Amino acid sequence: MFDTVLVANRGEIAVRVIRTLRALGVRSVAVFSDADADARHVREADTAVRLGPAPAAESYLSAERLLAAAASSGAQAVHPGYGFLAENAAFAQACADAGLAFIGPPASAIDLMGDKIRAKETVRAAGVPVVPGSSGSGLTDDQLIAAAREIGTPVLLKPSAGGGGKGMRLVRDEALLGEEIAAARREARASFGDDTLLVERWVDRPRHIEIQVLADGHGNVLHLGERECSLQRRHQKIIEEAPSVLLDEATRAAMGAAAVEAARSCGYVGAGTVEFIVPGDDPASYYFMEMNTRLQVEHPVTELITGVDLVEWQLRVAAGEPLPFGQEDVRLTGHAVEARLCAEDPARGFLPSGGTVLALHEPSGDGVRTDSGLSEGTEVGSLYDPMLSKVIAYGPDRATALRKLRAALAGTVTLGVPTNAGFLRRLLAHPAVVAGELDTGLVEREVEGLVDGDVPAEVYLAAALVRVGAAPVAATAGGWVDPFSVGSGWRLGGEAAWTVHHLRVPGHDPVAVHTRLGDGGTEIRLPSGETAWGPGGSPPVSGRGGPGEPPAGTPTVTLHVDGRTHTFHHAADWLGRDGDAWHVQDHDPVQAALSGAAHAGADALTAPMPGTVTVVKVSPGDEVTAGQSLLVVEAMKMEHVISAPHAGTVTELDVTPGSTVAMDQVLAVVVPADEESS
């Protein structure tokens, strides 16, 4: 076994690898960019080496700096995690040339399986069924269009050089092929430095099932069962589970054998995953999609049902040890489900989010595991992948695992950074998910009903109560408190007055909440005529409440509304409950009116997320049409196109390519055509 291993990654996977290194008594070396100088993985490692500035190209993607860090720290091996250089054949070879063990497959296997076109040809020759599609690499746009027409729409465009849904496009309309190919090439080039595409037949309502394989350097190859990864959004996995409810023992054995043959066909060594697309109505007709030559994000569910620490066996295999067990020794026990917690805002179309983690509670305990790179004070920016952590639950059966995971997500607190925790909790309660009736399009079909865009009335009531409790109290040296300084509304010889709090959640209209000191505590209400809450315009909500105790180390506020008790976690202007969170800001109506006047008669286009402007297609004075693409903002490897809301003229343009922008920052102003005429 190695004495020292460098972990060439960041975030939750770096923390995960360090945990196993510590258990094995192996010294861990973390690396970090300037943005991650105080990150959790840096603090948990035995030592850490600075790579350079925050951009990945100058830090985590710099093979030269990573190798220098390994040399300076005395590392004997490099664990690449996933993402960054984990599937970079040149980096694996550079490690070998430097005398370092690359904890992964040989560079030749990475190179072969990293090219989806060559990979399909290789496994097909080994007898593994593949999805019908284009053949040959380096196809032009016209050749891709011709292949798509031959297959027949719908088709799937896929980058040959990478995965993770980046650059993938589902095309149902043949007329859009040219436009979608251009967009897929642009995203593939930005993500992988290679815009080579292939086209495949789209399997309607497919299921995504993958097989975990493990191979040593002595010719032993086996599989550890399957994972169901059909719950996806925009081709990105969000929920994974093991085993799949779709497969019977015969199909599981057949797919496992096919995965083993795929691994043998490329001379694989280490832990890897063979991915299959499976028609939901015909599980026996499975097709090879690709092989991921690294540890998968969803590896914990396999670990929980097999009892095998995959990171440990990555290390042991890389150190030359043979696998001490065979296929007949692998047993799948119980059920495990994983949810990926991402920095994104479901209420704003799942756009990437960011901010400072002000309050954090990550669930653990019986049957619950959290793999995370977070800590309180962590700054979540737009430079890296949006995944923050993974919450995994295990039970003797699927129903138990789902129930535990829903409860764990409800107890997850990450105030300061919008996440998808509440959305995932609702998804796991969807009847089709509970019944195991899954397919890769389910989330997109049901997403509208799973995203709660409205702000519950009690959120504003709780926010006002927090403000009452946080109001400063002036006291004399003798301890006497001036009642006029308390902010309770107390007045001499009369009923307490109401204090008005103007509050606003971004993306929603402001709300006025009234508070005053009552006999049983602080009374809070929404004034009649301002906002009617509940079905059919029911009367405004009112309630009484007071600060609550802080379980799980985060402050809470509790209030009673119409006979029901509501408890929220809170930090600064943030409130959270059951995995959902709201940023409730103070609203100044006068200032808002003045700000609005600055753009009277014009539409200001704002940044939907913190990120970087990558494309600017217009200049001040340009006439534009409704829906015309004006700018592109990128964050966390996601592009968002800013389009003209109407025909008109660009009168202001406040950014250039490369500009870093904050959420809701004004990017451009388009004066409507009808106003210009008048």
Chain length of the chain: 678
Rounded Cα gap, residues 314 and 295, in angstroms: 9
Mean local confidence (pLDDT), 599-619: 78
pLDDT in tens, 16-53: 999 999 999 999 999 999 999 999 999 999 999 999 99
Highest averaged pLDDT of the listed ranges 462-466, 483-487, 497-501, 525-529: 462-466
pLDDT in tens, 400-424: 999 999 999 999 999 999 999 999 9
pLDDT in tens, 264-287: 999 999 999 999 999 888 888 899
Percent of the chain scored above 90 by pLDDT? 63
Structure tokens, 36: 């991650």
Nearest to 298 by CA among 225, 367, 196: 225
**Alpha-carbon Rg for the chain in angstroms:** 27
What is the dotted CATH code of the domain comprising 599-677?
2.40.50.100
Q: Where are the domains of the chain?
A: 4-103, 132-201, 209-450, 457-586, 599-677
Instruction: Please report, as a single letter, which amino acid is at residue 44.
Output: E
Asked if the model's pLDDT at residue 165 lies above 80, the reply is no
Rounded Cα gap, residues 169 and 455, in angstroms: 33
φ and ψ of 150, to 5 deg: -70, -40
Rounded Cα gap, residues 389 and 374, in angstroms: 7
Residue 4 binned pLDDT confidence (cut-offs 50, 70, 90): very high
Rounded Cα gap, residues 255 and 274, in angstroms: 9
**What ranges make up the beta strands (E) of 387-457?**
387-395, 413-415
Those residues whose C-beta lies under 8 Å from the C-beta of residue 395, and which sit 6 or more positions away, are: 334, 335, 336, 367, 401, 403, 404
Mean local confidence (pLDDT), 462-486: 69
**pLDDT: is 191 or 331 the higher one?**
331
Highest averaged pLDDT of the listed ranges 166-180, 318-332, 506-520: 318-332
What is the dotted CATH code of the domain comprising 457-586?
3.30.700
Rounded Cα gap, residues 235 and 60, in angstroms: 25
Q: By CB neighbour count within 10 A (0-12 exposed, 13-18 middle, 19+ buried), where does 322 fall?
A: exposed
Coil, strand or helix at 597: helix
pLDDT of residue 548: 39
Asked if the model's pLDDT at residue 479 lies above 80, the reply is no
Q: What's the whole-model pTM score?
A: 0.84
Nearest to 418 by CA among 491, 342, 470, 474: 342
pLDDT of residue 543: 53
Highest averaged pLDDT of the listed ranges 134-143, 195-204, 445-454, 569-578: 569-578
Strands 77-79 and 4-7: parallel
Rounded Cα gap, residues 229 and 240, in angstroms: 5
Those residues whose C-beta lies under 8 Å from the C-beta of residue 32, and which sit 6 or more positions away, are: 10, 39, 41, 42, 48, 49, 50, 51, 59
Nearest to 386 by CA among 54, 51, 610: 610
pLDDT of residue 635: 76
Secondary structure letter of residue 456 according to DSSP: P
Q: How many CA atoms lie within 13 A of 70 on its CB side?
A: 29
Concatenated DSSP letters of 319-352 = TTPPPS--GGG----SEEEEEEEESEEGGGTTEE
**pLDDT: is 58 or 563 the higher one?**
58
pLDDT in tens, 623-652: 999 889 898 888 766 778 888 888 999 988
Asked if the model's pLDDT at residue 428 lies above 50, the reply is yes
- Ranking 105-114, 190-199, 211-220 by mean pLDDT, the lowest is 190-199
pLDDT of residue 546: 45
Asked if the model's pLDDT at residue 301 lies above 80, the reply is yes
- Ranking 103-112, 336-345, 474-483, 562-571 by mean pLDDT, the lowest is 474-483
Q: What Cα–Cα distance (Å) separates residue 302 from each residue in 299, 332, 337, 392, 520? A: 5, 9, 10, 11, 53
Residue 473 binned pLDDT confidence (cut-offs 50, 70, 90): low
Rounded Cα gap, residues 452 and 578, in angstroms: 12
Those residues whose C-beta lies under 8 Å from the C-beta of residue 9, and which sit 6 or more positions away, are: 17, 31, 41, 60, 79, 80, 81, 82, 83, 84, 86
The CATH number of 209-450 is which of 3.30.470.20, 3.30.430.20, 3.40.50.720, 3.30.70.260? Answer: 3.30.470.20
Instruction: Please report, as a single letter, which amino acid is at residue 49.
Output: V
Those residues whose C-beta lies under 8 Å from the C-beta of residue 191, and which sit 6 or more positions away, are: 159, 162, 164, 166, 167, 637
Q: What Cα–Cα distance (Å) separates residue 80 from each residue in 34, 127, 295? A: 19, 31, 9
Instruction: Please report, as a single letter, which amino acid is at residue 29.
Output: V
- Ranking 173-187, 377-391, 590-604 by mean pLDDT, the lowest is 590-604
Q: What Cα–Cα distance (Å) separates residue 392 from each residue in 229, 242, 307, 540? A: 14, 11, 14, 40
- The residue written with tokens 């079905």 in the block is 535
Residue 130 binned pLDDT confidence (cut-offs 50, 70, 90): very high
Name the fold adopted by 132-201. Answer: Dna Ligase; domain 1 (3.30.1490)
Coil, strand or helix at 613: strand
What's the mean per-residue pLDDT of the chain?
88
Rounded Cα gap, residues 217 and 215, in angstroms: 7
Burial 7-33 (b: 16+ CB within 10 A, else e): bbbbbbbbbbbbebbeebebbbbbbbb
Cβ-contact 571, 633 below 8 angstroms: no
Q: What Cα–Cα distance (Å) separates residue 628 from each residue in 104, 368, 383, 631, 643? A: 46, 48, 27, 10, 5
Nearest to 344 by CA among 414, 426, 443: 414
Rounded Cα gap, residues 141 and 545, in angstroms: 64
Instruction: Please report, as a single letter, which amino acid is at residue 487.
Output: G
Cβ-contact 76, 66 below 8 angstroms: no
Class of domain 4-103: alpha beta
Cβ-contact 56, 395 below 8 angstroms: no
252, containing H or E segment:
helix 249-265
Mean local confidence (pLDDT), 124-136: 89
Residue 537 binned pLDDT confidence (cut-offs 50, 70, 90): very low
Structure tokens, 466: 């927090």
